[in-house]
Amino acid sequence: MRNNKLSRSTQKNLVLFVILLVLCAFFYSQNNRFITVYNLTNMVRQSLPNFILGCGMTFVIASGAIDLSVGGTMALSAMLYGYLCIWGINPWLAVVIVAGFGVVVGIFNTVIMEKLQIPAIMATLATWIITAGMAMSVCKAIPITGPELKPITVLNSIKFGKIPLALPICIVVIAVFLFLEKKTILGKYAIAIGGNDAAAHFSGINVTKMRACFFVLTGVLAGLSGVWQVARLGSADPTIGTGMEFKVVAACILGGVNIKGGEGTVSGVMIGTAILIVLTNGMQMMDIGSFYQDIATGLVLLASVLINSDSVGELMGKKAAA
Amino acid sequence: MSNQASALNRGIKFTADGVQNLTIFCIFLMACVVGFILEPKLFFSPSNVTSILVSASSVIIVASAVTLVLISGNLNLSVGGTGAMGAVLFGLMTRAGVPIVLAALLAVVLGLLAGMLCGFIIAQFKLPSFIVSLAFRYITRGIALVGAGGAVIFGLPAGISKIGMTIGSIPLPAVYAIAVVLVFVWIQNKTVFASTAYAVGANEPAAHLSGISNRKVVMSVFAMSGMLAAFVGVVITSRFTAADSGILSTLDNDCIIAAVLGGTDINGGRGTVFGMLMGALFIVVLTNIMNMLGMTTYTQDMVKGVVLIGAILLNNIIRKHVRI
Amino acid sequence: MSDHVLEIKNISKHFAGVKALDDVSFDIVRGSCHCLIGENGAGKSTLIKILTGAHPKTSGTVLYNGKDFNPASTKDAMKAGIGCLFQELNVVEKLRVEENICLGLEETRFGIIKKSSNQKVFDVLRRIDSSIEPKQYIEELSVAKRQVVEMAKALAMDSDVIIMDEPTASLTEEEVKRLFEIIHDLKSQGITIIYISHRLEEIMELADYVTVLRDGRHIATKPRAEISGRQELIQMMIGKVIVEDYVPNKIDENIKLIELKGVSNKKLHNISFDLHKGEILGFYGLIGAGKTEIARAIFGADKYAGTILVEGRDVKAVSPEKAITNGIVLVPEERRTQGICTSLSIAVNTPMMNYRTVSHKGILNKKQQGRLAREYIEKIGTACRDENQSVAFLSGGNQQKVVLSKCLNVSPKVLLLDEPTRGVDVGAKQEIYQIIRQMVKDGCSAIVFSSELPEILGLCDRIGLLYDGEIKMFLKNDEHVETRHIMSVVTGGVENE
């Protein structure tokens, strides 16, 4: 009898998806170059880090924490990658080393959060400041370039017909995370820890270990995002992560992740990320100054957090009942 | 208890706050000594002291209010954006011929309103301050970018430089910073409002059952921080006679670092404006020393992050051992 | 001996000098429903906390399946096979039923959950309640069904003892029946149930054995067959009530300070009563009877339907702030989370309800604040270093005195006291009673909400008996009051039993 009823998160995701379609239709009506293979794939190419970081951040926020250090980690990873290549290390081995660096950052975040017993927001804020500062200081704020960075840019230039490699990468990453969410303990435990950490603890879940897993996930993804930006730009730029942490968090909130934990889906966050990106890109194509994008992002974030809040929900429920 | 005994007790009391203030004060003094040893002629020269004060002024002014925000158990990530918004609005108005004083006043009032609205949404809908102020960070910075066309507004009337000028050898921003700190030390110590902020931050349900309005407190602290952020934007604009939409990009973090260094508890209910002042000055002196050592500003940012972790660690230790 | 799943031998537990459990010994038979009863503070929850590893015991031994049992944490106890249904449900709302039951028990390979995990869930659920779909989300389930999920989880962990602490507190009659059926089923499968409830009807229906605790001591363990009826249980639970020297207050029946007319909300049904000037009104009821809810409604902290008049005016109580200006103050039930700001000093806590006496136009006078705090420290006898001491470092009794100082300096007309002496040692209790009596003598009125009968009988002029959100009856406090009768009413008995 209840099998045809959709779960609440699926309903939310459907609403978000409809909003995404409406936005796309609107921008298409304003400028029909909006929906072209080139533009759509280009959006993915530019925003690949937003998508893949969103996947990891879903787990972190759903488990009741937050990771503000991703922007800094991303920038520092890009620098690290650049230097590794210049030092003559095989560019593909360098990718693995950078991923390992992401693991270290994740563990560092967990250690200061647990040892100092401070909220995740403060712990990762400190990491953010340190990593972002380090990224800028190693290169004195000047992007590093060189022929050694050439091999990795192949990731950006490969195309299958009209489709750039970014699209399959994005799809594979999302698929992997959907799998992690639905089929492995990672997804279940994130929701359990964020929703009721006493229950999680009593069920024998090692909460600290799981937290470390989630932070390591975002750390590794931030590292790989840094590498991707090197591939896309052909240089290692220490400013590539600026503002990234908040863009990703905003996409998570918009995608229905509860900022207090216990709720959130990868699919929702992906739609949320897509909405923010379509909004940015569409406004650009309408020749609305790119400066309006920040205002739009802020308003969308505010609206989504208001709609998801209990007290507003209560109010709306009451109106519906009356 | 005899009066004498209680007087004696009061004479030697050291609360956790007191110990914290003393600690950060000592650390600050030590930093000064290090600076003096490195550059005996330069460090205490009037020009260096004023430059320290000027560079600390923005953080000191805004963090005075942000300390109260933290004490009330909230976080404000929108002060940088609000500052930039204030700067740009001030620039636009003066360029359009609005009298300078009126323009400054309007910009500050708009900052206040933005902060108040942010606080209202947080308290009314019981939302995490982090996320709401993040939204306001985008909105206010966006307004600044739109107003300045994503860049800097030049061609402002020369008269505006009076707001931030240096009279004799005394820079006005430093004067503002001292005045604001004095006012906020007074507010924090002497007003009922501050007491209610501490109560809300320490235990919101208990404060509610004592008839203290969470909404009033949160709206007020956010309004104050918005107002002071816009004021700082105006002062910076007047010093450069140009309104830059990209200013104060690290102000949010800097305010939090200064307050936490000064012993403010990130979970709310504890902290002092005096401690924040010492924290902010320490950071600037540290920066000064790092400049002398030839470190880049970026390396200095990194050091700030380490200092933040150290400060939290120190606070934890003091809280654990000073049990009064 | 193997038919005793648990053997409790000479268990004692001391909290800071207070004996919460004193040399308690009894055995629990495998596959039985063993009920644990006693008044609040009798030691039931302490005993449960020892069995589930939340507290270490001071002395004594517990044998579980014949082996020494010393769980270091609730997690340990659960792993060993002692499951517990807490009053705060331990389920994750946003996960499915099957996911909740398997949580922490998943069979995995490299973190990937194997399909075979689910088979166990089907089995376990079928054993107790087949009306619950494993695919349902917890948020779609009623409280009763969430409990069933918790039981299923305990079974999935291979528990052979399940502790249920007031499981029927928020269930409907139908759901209670269903729960009892489940308990019978579980027993027939060899599972032992330790059941704690204040509702004696339930005990009489369910129990195979009943253990009565009183003041931390073991009074009796009897098979159900040897118990004649509720009256016997009540007799064992309350023993001899030592009533404090109750002195009637001077009541002015003509002045009604507070009138409630048909006040209802989620927890309350049609509450109506008057509070007269100079009176101490008492509300007695067990946990979950609605005491706190009445206090919070009068204080404006909760919404309600119906009317509350304060001195004849309809207050439509909107907030505690308004209530305080109307002269009503509340000493809340939970001191630490609702009463005081522990990180702040006594001096800062004291004027929190009323800054007028220590401030002028919003500016605080620290000298006056200190003076006020010292005045109340002396008046109430708070033991502390000085007024600048952090409240966190005071004992429970002294913290409660700080809460009283906070309330009293408002010069209230009505004092609402919700469990005013919970977690307070005996000496401080008497002092707090004296303070309340003195306040009323000085022209204040009070309503005491308590689950301690001696407290109510020692203080109050009139006693309202609460059961399940309703006022069952009012009694005048005099020598004719029968404690047995009171216990009977608040445990859900019929009046004329």
Judging by DSSP bridges, how do beta strands C59-64 and C33-37 pair with one another?
unpaired
Q: What is the ipTM of this complex?
A: 0.85
Query: How do residues C396-409 score in pLDDT, each as one tens digit?
Result: 889 999 999 999 99
Percentage of chain A exceeding pLDDT 90: 58
Structure tokens at B181: 């700190």
Q: What is the DSSP letter of C268?
A: -
For C38-172, where are the E strands, in sequence order? 59-64, 67-68, 82-85, 108-109, 112-113, 161-165
Give A3's pLDDT tier (boundaries 50, 70, 90). very low
Cα torsion C220, C32, C162, C219 to 10°: value is 0
What mean pLDDT value characterizes chain B? 89
Please give, rounded to a whole number of angstroms, the shortest distance from the CA of A199 to a CA of chain C. Answer: 5
Helix (H) or strand (E) holding C340: none
Provide the angle, in degrees to the nearest 10, between the axes of the packed helices A244-254 and A292-308: 40
Per the CB < 8 Å rule, is B296 touching A297? no
Q: How many residues does chain C have?
A: 497
Phi, psi of C286 (to 5 degrees): -90, 180
Query: How do residues A204-257 score in pLDDT, each as one tens digit?
Result: 888 999 999 999 999 999 999 999 999 999 999 999 988 899 999 999 999 999
Residue A269, classed as helix, strand or coil, is helix
Percentage of chain C exceeding pLDDT 70: 96
Per the CB < 8 Å rule, is B210 touching C390? no
Query: How do residues A10-34 score in pLDDT, each as one tens digit?
Result: 888 898 999 999 999 999 998 888 8
Instruction: Decide if B243 contacts B88 (C-beta within 8 A).
Output: yes
Query: How do residues C181-221 score in pLDDT, each as one tens digit?
Result: 889 988 998 899 999 887 888 888 899 999 999 888 899 99
Judging by DSSP bridges, how do beta strands C4-15 and C59-64 pair with one another?
antiparallel
Per the CB < 8 Å rule, is C344 touching B198? yes
pLDDT at residue A314, as a whole number: 59
pLDDT at residue A2, as a whole number: 43
pLDDT at residue C174, as a whole number: 82
Give A319's pLDDT tier (boundaries 50, 70, 90). very low
CB-based contacts of B189, cutoff 8 Å, min separation 6: C364, C366
Cα torsion C193, C196, C198, C201 to 10°: value is 10
Question: Is the CA virtual torsion A305, A310, A316, A320 positive or negative?
Answer: positive
pLDDT at residue B8, as a whole number: 39
Which amino acid is located at B263 in the chain?
A: G
Q: Quickly name the fold that domain C4-238 has.
A: Rossmann fold (3.40.50)
What mean pLDDT value characterizes chain A? 89
Whole-number Å distance between alpha carbons of B147 and A292: 10
CATH no. of A41-304: 1.10.3470
Structure tokens at C360: 């002028």
Query: How do residues A99-121 score in pLDDT, each as one tens digit?
Result: 999 999 999 999 999 888 888 99
Helix (H) or strand (E) holding C324: helix C320-325
Q: Quickly name the fold that domain C252-490 has.
A: Rossmann fold (3.40.50)
Q: Quickly name the fold that domain B52-321 has.
A: ABC transporter involved in vitamin B12 uptake, BtuC (1.10.3470)
pLDDT at residue B6, as a whole number: 41
Domain assignments of chain A as residue spans, ordered by start: 41-304
Which amino acid is located at A104 in the chain?
A: V
Please choose, from the candidates B310, B316, B140, B291, the residue with its C-alpha nearest in 3D space to the C-alpha of residue B225: B140
Structure tokens at A45: 């190419």
More confident residue, B202 or C140: B202
C-alpha distances in Å from residue C482, one per residue of C235, C240, C246, C489, C491: 11, 11, 15, 11, 14
Structure tokens at A299: 């308003």
Residue B2 has pLDDT above 50, yes or no: no
Query: How do residues C247-291 score in pLDDT, each as one tens digit?
Result: 888 888 888 999 999 999 888 999 999 999 999 999 998 877 889
Q: What is the mean pLDDT of residues B169-185?
A: 93
Whole-number Å distance between alpha carbons of C95 and A52: 24
Give C152's pLDDT tier (boundaries 50, 70, 90). confident
Neighbours of chain A (3+ CB pairs under 8 A): B, C
pLDDT at residue C202, as a whole number: 85
Q: How many residues does chain B have?
A: 324
Whole-number Å distance between alpha carbons of C28 and B225: 63
Which chain B residues are Cβ-neighbours of A137 within 8 angstroms? Answer: 295-296, 298-299, 301-302
Per the CB < 8 Å rule, is A140 touching B125? no
Q: What is the pTM of this model?
A: 0.88
Please give, rounded to a whole number of angstroms, the shortest distance from the CA of A68 to a CA of chain B. Answer: 12
The segment with the largest mean pLDDT, out of C112-126, C272-286, C473-487, is C272-286
pLDDT at residue C87, as a whole number: 66
Nearest CA in chain A to B132: A302
pLDDT at residue C317, as a whole number: 63
Query: How do residues C312-353 score in pLDDT, each as one tens digit?
Result: 888 876 789 999 999 999 999 888 889 999 889 999 999 999
Please give, rounded to a whole number of angstroms, the shortest distance from the CA of B233 to a CA of chain C. Answer: 30
Closest in A118, A289, A295 to B138, CB measured:
A295
Residue A315 has pLDDT above 60, yes or no: no
If you search the block for the tokens 């609460």, which residue do you land on?
A: C466
Nearest CA in chain C to B195: C348
C-alpha distances in Å from residue A206, one per residue of A193, A202, A213: 10, 10, 11
Give B5's pLDDT tier (boundaries 50, 70, 90). very low
Residue A179 has pLDDT above 80, yes or no: yes
Query: How do residues C83-111 score in pLDDT, each as one tens digit?
Result: 888 766 788 888 888 888 888 877 777 77
Domain assignments of chain B as residue spans, ordered by start: 52-321
Q: What is the 3-state secondary structure (H, E, C) of A196-256?
A: CHHHHHHCCCCHHHHHHHHHHHHHHHHHHHHHHHHHHHCCECCCCCCCHHHHHHHHHHHCC
pLDDT at residue A290, as a whole number: 73
- Listed in order, the ranges of chain C carrying CATH 3.40.50.300 are 4-238, 252-490
Structure tokens at B243: 């309104």
Residue C451 has pLDDT above 80, yes or no: yes
Please give, rounded to a whole number of angstroms, the shortest distance from the CA of C56 to a CA of chain B. Answer: 24
More confident residue, A50 or A287: A50
C-alpha distances in Å from residue C454, one per residue of C241, C421, C427: 7, 12, 15
Q: What is the mean pLDDT of residues C354-371?
A: 90
| DSSP track, C124-158 | HHHHH-TTS-TTSBGGGS-HHHHHHHHHHHHHHTT
Long-range contacts of A16-22 (CB under 8 A, 24+ apart): A16/A254, A16/A255, A16/A256, A16/A268, A16/A271, A16/A272, A16/A275, A17/A271, A19/A275, A20/A271, A20/A274, A20/A275, A20/A278
pLDDT at residue B74, as a whole number: 95
Q: A169-178, B260-269, C244-253, C266-275 — which is least confidently predicted?
A: C244-253
